[in-house]
Amino acid sequence: MTIRLVAGLGNPGAEYRETRHNAGAWFVEALARRLGVVLREEPRFLGLHGRASRNGDNVSLLVPTCFMNLSGQSLAACARFYRIAPDEMLVVHDEIDLDPGTVRLKSGGGHGGHNGLRDIVSHLGSDFHRLRIGVGHPGSAERVVPWVLSRANAEDMRRIGEAIERALDSMDDVLAGDFARAMNVLHQKPT
């Protein structure tokens, strides 16, 4: 099964642009640059959207421009338009349960308290793939919201950037649906 939609989660607006919660959006913006795709505002998808052709297959790149807790509306609109099944989607998001510099692929599962994933599951079910970018945990549950809505320090940003680069280097395998091969690379400890 090839991936036909890569969606990067984040919140819109300058005040959220550099926050940990936008790691998924950073990834898709970087992927678009790497593939030479221009992301343009697409009102019917409630997001920035572009298309690339990879090995004869078309893939949509999407960054929802609605707030995180409405991400499912954006993905569902794009999926309906292009007739993309959930198992043909890769959702890229921040993950507090992983340290900065860690990136993991996962297929299916729950939302784990992530409001963007919660909304996507409510619209599309849970059979989509996830690329989880570690942003670290603040140490207590009551500090999670301010943590993800704040900027990471310079060292954590460097590690997050390196994780995004490693994930970008594995995207040929991911887009082709070769998750085992991509996981062999991505799930190793960074050197």
- Residue 129 CA: distances (Å) to CA of 1, 104, 120, 142, 149: 11, 11, 12, 28, 24
Backbone phi, then psi, for 13, in 5-degree steps?
A: 100, 150
Catalytic annotation, residues: 21
How, if at all, do strands 89-95 and 47-54 pair? unpaired
CA angle 151/191/180 to nearest 5° reads: 90
Q: Which string of DSSP letters, residue by residue, matches 108-150?
A: S---TT-HHHHHHHHHH-S-SEEEEEE----SSGGGHHHHHTS
Distances (CA, A) of 32 to 7, 15, 87, 126, 188: 11, 22, 21, 25, 25
